[in-house]
Amino acid sequence: MNRDVLMELVLVRHAEPEWVRDGLNIDDPPLTDRGHEQAAITARALAGEKFDEILVSPLVRTRQTAGPLLEALGRDLVIDPWLEEIRNPVWHGTPVEKASAAYEAEKAKSSHDRWTGIDGGEPVSSFVERINIGCSLFLEERGIVRERVDMPVWDLTPGFTPGRHICLVAHAGTNSVSICHLLGLQPTPWEWDRFVIGHASVTRVQLFALGDGVTFSLSRLSDNEHLPVELRTY
């Protein structure tokens, strides 16, 4: 890690999930065979890094993605609930056409109306608030707080330990909203479209000193160069 970088967050998106089986939707899906292969390759790519913490979303696809890396490093699974993706309606066992129609209806909404999210699911506005609160608490527990509202400058508390390297295994939505929160960007209800984050890709956000405080920079977004071209999915 560069000596000027005070902390690095490594945001890993889960590998390819099996959303549909036999024409039916799967709620909280496992990985596909290709997804397991993506996870294994990603583990090998990251196994040489010294992580102080590896935190994982509670959903099946993230736990399975993190599994090979945890095994390679001899680490136990640590679940952090705030990393969970937006909570859509329970699709399990329903025809795939139902989810497809719901997502198409969502895309047809006006930009402002998209804050309500898919009918029966978690509103996007609530999801963004949940991730922002979770991210802020995560940082506060590690000695980083933001008290200034006019710009994305953070302050360090006595509990901060420089040089920490933390891996978060989560989702496209969670990672996108977290990036916006860390960089001080205005949130939108279409973060999944604003940031194109591939399966099993690696995003890096670094903390560095800035005048009388600290701030975050996006040093790498959705890096999937470790995956063969035929295994790069979105």
Q: How many domains does the chain have?
A: 1
**196-232 per-position pLDDT tens digit:** 999 999 999 999 999 899 999 999 999 999 999 999 9
**41-98 per-position pLDDT tens digit:** 999 999 999 999 999 999 999 999 999 999 999 999 999 999 999 998 998 899 999 9
Per-residue pLDDT at 92? 86
**142-196 per-position pLDDT tens digit:** 999 998 888 999 999 999 999 999 999 999 999 999 999 999 999 999 999 999 9
- Residue 81, domain member (yes or no): yes
User: Is pLDDT larger for residue 103 or for residue 79?
Assistant: 79
User: Which two three-digit tokens encode residue 190?
Assistant: 């279409």
Q: How far apart are CA 63 and CA 156, in angstroms?
A: 31
Q: How far apart are CA 224 and CA 191, in angstroms?
A: 19
Q: Is 41 helix (H, G, I), strand (E, B) or coil?
A: helix
Q: Which among 159, 119, 118, 166 has a CA at the least distance from the CA of 141?
A: 159
Q: How far apart are CA 125 and CA 72, in angstroms?
A: 38
- Residue 232, domain member (yes or no): no
Quote the domain boundaries for residue 155: 5-226
b or e along 125-145 (b: 16 or more beta carbons within 10 Å of the residue's beta carbon)? eebbebbbebbbebbeebbbe
Q: CB count, 10 Å around CB of 232?
A: 17
pTM: 0.96
CATH number of the domain encompassing residue 11: 3.40.50.1240
Residue 3: band (very low, low, confident or very high) from pLDDT cuts 50, 70, 90: low
**104-127 per-position pLDDT tens digit:** 999 999 999 999 999 899 999 999
Q: How far apart are CA 18 and CA 65, in angstroms?
A: 13
- Residue 234, domain member (yes or no): no
Q: How far apart are CA 132 and CA 146, in angstroms?
A: 12
Q: How far apart are CA 96 and CA 214, in angstroms?
A: 46
